[in-house]
Every structure is written in structure tokens, then in C-alpha cells.
Homo-oligomer: A and B are copies of this chain.
Amino acid sequence: MRTSRKPSTSPATAFEPEFVAGLREMFERSIPFNQVLGIQLLALDGERAQCRIDMRPELVGHFIHRRLHGGVISATLDATAGLAVMAAIGARHMDESPEQRLARFMKLGTIDLRVDYLRPGLGPHFVASAEVLRLGSRVASTRMELHDAQGERVASGAAAYIVS
């Protein structure tokens, strides 16, 4: 009994190094609040993105238990899902120049977001993964997860984005 019964047809999209570098620069450096979170891009393909955040004192939500703040989790899942949508859009528009594809990034808008908090966020770092379930001409739907350094699932989520 499997939840997903069809193999994901992950397009083996080979993005140019300059596209990935440009996206990383935009994502990690040009978005001020992403710098506050300290989100780093780990991996990217035509329908998925993976990011990492390191625990830091200012990201704590519970001063006794030293847990990651729920708002850090929701923000990181939203950011990672946006990146996955951007990768999917980039993969669809490989005929455009990297600059043209990067310009699409700033037009992305989150329609809505759901986060399920499953376990306390504890430990030295966290990995967020996002997958695009559907990329339409106007709306993209994604699913996300956050795991701790031991590989335990801390949170899961879903979001919808306006694309253009």
C-alpha cells in the first residue's frame, strides 16, 4: 500500500550554473527576512527544492525548551516551496535566458499556506524540502516538510502560489 502510486516524472532538468547562482543570490541575499532566517539553498531540480537553516538563539520560540519558533518553520517552508515553484517555472522556460527566468521569481505570490506542527523543532539544524504537485499556467500547488538533524519530521505543509 503506497501513498503515491505513480513514479514522479522528475525532469532531469540541468539548470545552468549561472541560473542556480543567480537564484541562490536572490534567495539568500536579496530577501532581507530570508537572511534573518539564515536559509541556505541545498539542492534544486525541476520540481523540488531543499534548504537548510541552522538553529540560532534568535530563532527560538520557547525560552525554556529552546524550540524553533513556529513562525520560523512556516516562513522556511513557504520560502522553500516558493523556490521549488521557481525551479519548476525555470524548467518549463528553458528556452528563455537565465535572466528572463530569474525575473519571473519576483512575480511569484503565495496565495495561501498550511503548516502542520508535528514535533518540537530541536537540534542544531533543519532541512526543508518542497515538491511541486502541480504547476498550472496560473496556479502552482506544493507540499513541504521540515526534518531535524536526526531525520525526524518536525512539520509538514501545503501551499498555493500565483505564477505568471
Chain A residues close to B by CB (< 8 Å)? 1-6, 30-37, 43, 45, 48, 50, 57-64, 69-72, 74-76, 78-79, 106, 109-119, 127, 129, 131, 133-134, 138-139, 141, 143, 145, 147, 151-153, 156-158, 160, 162
Please state if B117 and A114 are interface contacts (CB–CB under 8 Å): no
Please state if B1 and A31 are interface contacts (CB–CB under 8 Å): no
Instruction: Tell me which residues across on chain B come within 8 A of A138, comparing CB atoms.
Output: 138-139, 162
Task: Count identical subunits in the complex.
Answer: 4
Please state if B112 and A158 are interface contacts (CB–CB under 8 Å): yes
A133 to B6, CA, bound (A): 21
A51 to B71, CA, bound (A): 15
Q: Which of these, B32, B50, B143, contacts A58 with CB under 8 Å?
A: B32
Q: Which of these, B35, B79, B118, B133, contacts A156 with CB under 8 Å?
A: B133
Instruction: Tell me which residues across on chain B come within 8 A of A74, comparing CB atoms.
Output: 71, 74-75, 78, 113, 115
A74-B71, A78-B71 known; A151 and B5 CB under 8 Å?
yes
